[in-house]
Chain A
Amino acid sequence: MIGKIYNIQSFSTSDGPGIRTVVFFQGCNLRCLWCHNPESWAMHPPVSFIKESCIGCGACANVCNPRVTDSTACTGCGRCAEICFAGALARPCRELGVDALFTLIATDKPYFDNGGGGVTFSGGECMLQPDFLSAMVEKCKANGIHTAIDTAGHVPYEWLARANPDLFLYDIKAASPDTHKALTGVDGLLIWENLARLVEAPFPVHVRIPCIPGANWEEIPAIIKRLKKLGVTKIEPLPYHRLGEGKAAWFNQEARVYEVPSESEMQKIMNEVPL
């Protein structure tokens, strides 16, 4: 069984409890306007191109002329990336088996053990690779590694339930269907419904809300109110940041940039959420 992974970030302190290794899965079924990780969207992504790293050696043209003349023609085969030693062309994701990925995760088990952490499967949308994800969760749990799944929840409920992690980090972006659709491309009905079922089941769920002035900022009070009504006990508002701002250019996309909320603005929101 193979999973498509585009990044592994260890020693994260903001993606679940303790020190965590975050595994970013390829593929996403939402198109959030503020997305920091556009490289994660496509399940079969094109090769990315970092212009600043290109030394103009021309080696890529020998294996793929269209790559040079028309980037939109990229099939994602990755032959050009294999011979681009400057690292300008890169295959955004890698295919890894359960054991290979587990080996990379387990490297940090001593840190998890001391720091009360574990692994967080994120994305993209990690739930779009449900079989691989379930196998990974099972393997990690069997080896004493705490597991969390960071998901937007726009998948069949059965997939979520079957994954059965120690913790869901569940992202909620909007309260109303219209706003949700405008911001993410989907209306959010399934997302809210799945959240209600997870809470009721009950699965341990922490809800995270990206807080983005100019996007969902006005809806945040309504989101919090609705979450409280559902019985969600742990709500984590996350301030928008611009760390992934430059990535859109790798894929010939236009970056959409929002205002970063101030600390005082975030504090007002924090005052509304359960401790």
Chain B
Amino acid sequence: MKPVVLSQDITGRIAALRETKKNENNKKVAQFGGAYNTDDHGFICFDDFKFTPAYPEGYEIMFGPRCIGENLKRFFAEMPVYIHPQSALAGAWAGFFNRDFVNIGLRPEDEPKHLYATHEKYGLNPGIGGMNHLGPDMEIGFRLGYPGLLEKIRHYRKKNAPAGADFYAGEEATVEGILAYIENHFHYAQKMAAEATDPWERENYTNIAQSLKNLLEGPPKTFRDVCQFLAVFQSADRTYFGGGGLQQLDELIRLYYEADVAAGILTDEEAVWMLASLFYNDTHYSQLGGQSPDGTRELTTPISFIILQAAHELAIPHNLAVRVFEGSDDKLLRRALEYIVEKGTGPCFSLSKGIEEGYMKQGHPIELARMRANVGCNWVALPGIEYPLQDVTRLNMGFVFHHALEDTMAGGDPDLDKLWANFSKHLLEAVKCIAEGYDWHYEVVSRNTPELVLNLFCHGPIERGVNCANGGVDILNLNVDGTALATVADSFAAIEQRVVIEKKLTWEEMHKTVRNNFKDAEPIRLMLKNIPRFGHPESLALPWALRIRDEFVRQVNETPTPKYNIRVVPGLFSHGEIYGYGKNLPATPNGRFDGDPISHSNEPDPGFASGVVSFSPSLKATAVAQAQPGMGNSAPLHLDVDTNMIKGAGGVDALIALVHTHNQMGGTRINLNCVTAEQILAAHENPDAYPDLVIRVTGYSAFFSSLSKDYRQQVVDRYLR
């Protein structure tokens, strides 16, 4: 499908959305102390909006479905109304309910105090109390509408007649709040229509009001209605509890698009504008393309291209993913890559082979594996039927290595076998702590912070009367990501090469130097650092990386939670927090100073290519593919390609080949940026001079100028290799 030709009118409206977004972003960055390092959330800073929470008696923290639901209902009803004058849709969210307006979380008696010491020892992010990391099935909402969701809750509340009605009370209050939010916007749109002097604006406000009226009365009917439904959902989902997942967006809205086009009430350029309005509302994660569950139908259709174009035209951060599978039609992939080469950024790529084969290893059929869609930063899930809690829980293997080295040296007569045995021992201690923590999470999260919004769009929680984290959905597979793979693999390899093989250092000299944070020992630090590192085709670190990966995967797979026997699934992903995870980690034998960042996900460290072997995207991609955890969770490849490398006629073809090859090799996800090294360096030096530069930091996309210096630096380092 050719790109939709847009009139100046539509182009101008989309440009106006973009300019407002940039201004709002500046306000947001200022409000958060000069940087905003996570997903580029679409909330509006309503300076005058205040909320007075009603906490449970005797507590200064909010918890429990009824209490949260009632507060949330009032919050939604009190939220300011917002319609951007050039938008097709009403609504904006005002920030995270939990972060910006109330103190919410585990009640003190439910905190896992008995695990804190182990958490600290291994730098664990235990995931206990983790929220929102599952994907909704919006079809549920489209079929029932918001009033139908309320009716459904009341039906099952009556039918199940639970002894304690807190769960249903919370859910009911939440939907009542959402309906109040819609109604407020309906009245506001009517008022704006009445006051508008410009005929187009009057008509637009009238159309917005009509869509909102439709949503107040029942399920969405038109393409515009479903876009409005999703904008309301995004606003509610982000508000509570920072959720960010849509699902297979093209399939979700396709029938509405086709029906409205056939009925002559929707043009393609109007569809582009409505979708751009949706992306202005928020950066929720969604997927385009892929296969139907039975594998007989490719999901790419004209609306897939229209969605992609809408995000491209808006040119602000967005989180679309294009699904690529073996034998897929490359037209959507090509369009996505052309957009990236043109603007430097665009969608990411979710790769079927590694994701699906890994999920099948967990015992699921291929049909379900094909349905796992991009619903989060770097991760996929089955919309509405899976509670994976991916991208929340992390195990810093750098700390595991640190304790292993200390034990090995303390035990005397050190060698690599002893170091490995100690690494394995400490890793198991950390893995067991994660598993034990997940039992705790399973026991406490629902009575403290239930998924009041996402439960509505899952198959089971309302029907069963239980939170999705507690058996509300069919599939519960809690996840843990290992971090610092290259940091540890390079440390093992540096010891093997410099101490064991070359004997340039003794174990004691190496250890003393590392312990002293390489003080007055820069030549030794460089000796350890400048081995052929993980990613170099001749590196000793590759076998170590694979051995560490295998040990981590084996231990996690063999360590379900001790009390409830819940499966824990291993992944390798660090988010963008490599500075945070390195902050308290002592120096490591790969030449890394105390407090320096750890390596990213399962990727080689920047600068890994050396000697006669120069850096290349394929070199990095191969290493990332080789070290995949292989259980269906994404371990992303961050590919920052200097546009100079691919500006020739075959550049996009080369990128297509790269994406397919990574898929075939078992890679799971590609996050691609294409700007020149000169441009990224200049923007790092003076970010405010590049207000339009959008970068995929990791799974998420952000304005480069919104990021802190550390976060910008990690992107710059990837360009400098």
Interface positions of A (Cβ within 8 A of B) = 5-14, 17-19, 55, 57, 59, 85-87, 93-94, 103-104, 107-108, 110-111, 113-117, 243
Cβ-defined contact, A110 with B612, below 8 A: no
Cβ-defined contact, A18 with B658, below 8 A: no
Give the chain B neighbours of A93 by CB distance below 8 A: 612
B30 within 8 A of A: no
Cβ-defined contact, B523 with A19, below 8 A: no
Closest partner residue, chain B, to A10 (CB atom):
B616
If A94-B612, A114-B661 touch, whether A11 touches B654 (CB-CB below 8 Å) is yes
Cβ-defined contact, B657 with A86, below 8 A: no
Cβ-defined contact, B660 with A114, below 8 A: yes
Extra pairs beyond A19-B658, A111-B657 (10, CB < 8 Å)? A6-B612, A9-B616, A10-B619, A11-B616, A13-B645, A55-B522, A57-B522, A85-B526, A114-B661, A114-B664
10 A-B pairs closest in CB distance? A115-B657, A114-B657, A11-B616, A85-B526, A85-B527, A10-B616, A11-B618, A13-B654, A57-B523, A9-B614
In the bound assembly, the distance between CA atoms of A104 and B653 in angstroms comes to 23
Cβ-defined contact, A17 with B613, below 8 A: no
Cβ-defined contact, A104 with B613, below 8 A: yes
Closest partner residue, chain B, to A88 (CB atom):
B526
If A86-B523, A114-B661 touch, whether A94 touches B611 (CB-CB below 8 Å) is yes
Cβ-defined contact, A85 with B658, below 8 A: no
B650 within 8 A of A: yes
B53 within 8 A of A: no
In the bound assembly, the distance between CA atoms of A139 and B661 in angstroms comes to 23
Give the chain A neighbours of B524 by CB distance below 8 A: 85
Closest partner residue, chain B, to A87 (CB atom):
B530
Cβ-defined contact, A19 with B654, below 8 A: yes
Q: In residues 614-658 of chain B, which contact A (Cβ within 8 Å)?
A: 614, 616-619, 622, 644-646, 648, 650-651, 653-654, 656-658
Cβ-defined contact, A10 with B618, below 8 A: yes
Give the chain B neighbours of A94 by CB distance below 8 A: 611-612
Cβ-defined contact, A7 with B614, below 8 A: yes
In the bound assembly, the distance between CA atoms of A17 and B650 in angstroms comes to 8
Count A-B pairs with CB separation below 8 Å: 94
Cβ-defined contact, B526 with A7, below 8 A: no
Q: How far is the CB of A151 from chain B (nearest CB, A)?
A: 20
Q: How far is the CB of B537 from chain A (nearest CB, A)?
A: 5
Count contacts on B: residues with CB < 8 A to the other chain. Answer: 34
Give the chain B neighbours of A8 by CB distance below 8 A: 612-614
A-B contacts, 18 listed (Cβ < 8 Å): A8-B613, A10-B619, A11-B654, A12-B645, A13-B648, A55-B522, A55-B523, A57-B522, A85-B526, A85-B530, A86-B526, A87-B610, A94-B611, A107-B619, A113-B661, A114-B657, A114-B658, A114-B661
Give the chain A neighbours of B523 by CB distance below 8 A: 55, 57, 59, 85-86
Give the chain B neighbours of A17 by CB distance below 8 A: 650
In the bound assembly, the distance between CA atoms of A113 and B664 in angstroms comes to 11
Q: How far is the CB of B611 from chain A (nearest CB, A)?
A: 7
Q: Which of A17, A59, A110 has the most CB of B within 10 A?
A: A110
Give the chain B neighbours of A113 by CB distance below 8 A: 661
Give the chain B neighbours of A10 by CB distance below 8 A: 614, 616, 618-619
Give the chain B neighbours of A5 by CB distance below 8 A: 612
If A11-B645, A13-B648, A57-B523 touch, whether A115 touches B653 (CB-CB below 8 Å) is yes
Return the contact of A107 from the options B537, B614, B650, B658 (Cβ within 8 A).
Answer: B537
Closest partner residue, chain B, to A56 (CB atom):
B522
Cβ-defined contact, A18 with B650, below 8 A: yes
Return the contact of A11 from the options B526, B527, B529, B619 (Cβ within 8 A).
Answer: B619
In the bound assembly, the distance between CA atoms of A8 and B622 in angstroms comes to 16
Give the chain A neighbours of B530 by CB distance below 8 A: 85-87
Q: How far is the CB of B589 from chain A (nearest CB, A)?
A: 14
Give the chain A neighbours of B617 by CB distance below 8 A: 11
In the bound assembly, the distance between CA atoms of A116 and B611 in angstroms comes to 27
B716 within 8 A of A: no
B665 within 8 A of A: yes
Q: How far is the CB of B341 from chain A (nearest CB, A)?
A: 12
In the bound assembly, the distance between CA atoms of A111 and B663 in angstroms comes to 11
Closest partner residue, chain A, to B611 (CB atom):
A94
Cβ-defined contact, A18 with B618, below 8 A: no
In the bound assembly, the distance between CA atoms of A14 and B538 in angstroms comes to 26
Give the chain B neighbours of A11 by CB distance below 8 A: 616-619, 645, 654, 658
Q: Which of A8, A13, A113 has the most CB of B within 10 A?
A: A13
Cβ-defined contact, A110 with B537, below 8 A: no
In the bound assembly, the distance between CA atoms of A115 and B337 in angstroms comes to 15
In the bound assembly, the distance between CA atoms of A165 and B611 in angstroms comes to 27
Cβ-defined contact, B526 with A55, below 8 A: yes
Cβ-defined contact, B622 with A107, below 8 A: yes
Return the contact of B618 from the options A86, A87, A111 (Cβ within 8 A).
Answer: A111
Q: How far is the CB of A175 from chain B (nearest CB, A)?
A: 26
Cβ-defined contact, A104 with B537, below 8 A: yes
In the bound assembly, the distance between CA atoms of A55 and B521 in angstroms comes to 11
Give the chain A neighbours of B661 by CB distance below 8 A: 110-111, 113-115
Cβ-defined contact, B618 with A19, below 8 A: yes
Q: In residues 652-677 of chain B, which contact A (Cβ within 8 Å)?
A: 653-654, 656-658, 660-661, 664-665
In the bound assembly, the distance between CA atoms of A28 and B524 in angstroms comes to 37
In the bound assembly, the distance between CA atoms of A87 and B622 in angstroms comes to 25
Closest partner residue, chain A, to B620 (CB atom):
A11
In the bound assembly, the distance between CA atoms of A56 and B566 in angstroms comes to 57
Q: Which of B622, B657, B665 has the most CB of A within 10 A?
A: B657
Closest partner residue, chain B, to A57 (CB atom):
B523
Q: How far is the CB of A10 from chain B (nearest CB, A)?
A: 4
Cβ contacts B453-493/A at 8 Å (1 or 0 each): 00000000000000000000000000000000000000000
Cβ-defined contact, A108 with B653, below 8 A: no
Return the contact of A19 from the options B538, B619, B657 (Cβ within 8 A).
Answer: B657
If A11-B618, A111-B661 touch, whether A18 touches B527 (CB-CB below 8 Å) is no
Cβ-defined contact, B648 with A18, below 8 A: no
Closest partner residue, chain A, to B531 (CB atom):
A85
Q: How far is the CB of B295 from chain A (nearest CB, A)?
A: 21
Cβ-defined contact, A110 with B664, below 8 A: yes
In the bound assembly, the distance between CA atoms of A14 and B665 in angstroms comes to 25
Give the chain B neighbours of A12 by CB distance below 8 A: 616, 645
Cβ-defined contact, B612 with A18, below 8 A: no
In the bound assembly, the distance between CA atoms of A107 and B626 in angstroms comes to 12
Give the chain A neighbours of B644 by CB distance below 8 A: 243
Give the chain B neighbours of A103 by CB distance below 8 A: 537
Give the chain B neighbours of A13 by CB distance below 8 A: 645-646, 648, 650-651, 654
In the bound assembly, the distance between CA atoms of A108 and B613 in angstroms comes to 13
Cβ-defined contact, B658 with A115, below 8 A: yes
Give the chain A neighbours of B658 by CB distance below 8 A: 11, 19, 111, 114-115
Cβ-defined contact, B612 with A14, below 8 A: no
Q: How far is the CB of B324 from chain A (nearest CB, A)?
A: 12
Give the chain A neighbours of B622 by CB distance below 8 A: 107-108
Give the chain A neighbours of B527 by CB distance below 8 A: 85
Q: How far is the CB of B613 from chain A (nearest CB, A)?
A: 5
In the bound assembly, the distance between CA atoms of A12 and B648 in angstroms comes to 10
Closest partner residue, chain B, to A93 (CB atom):
B612
Q: How far is the CB of B599 from chain A (nearest CB, A)?
A: 20
Q: Which of B650, B660, B665 has the most CB of A within 10 A?
A: B650
In the bound assembly, the distance between CA atoms of A243 and B648 in angstroms comes to 16
Q: How far is the CB of A120 from chain B (nearest CB, A)?
A: 13
If A87-B530, A104-B537, A110-B664 touch, whether A7 touches B612 (CB-CB below 8 Å) is yes
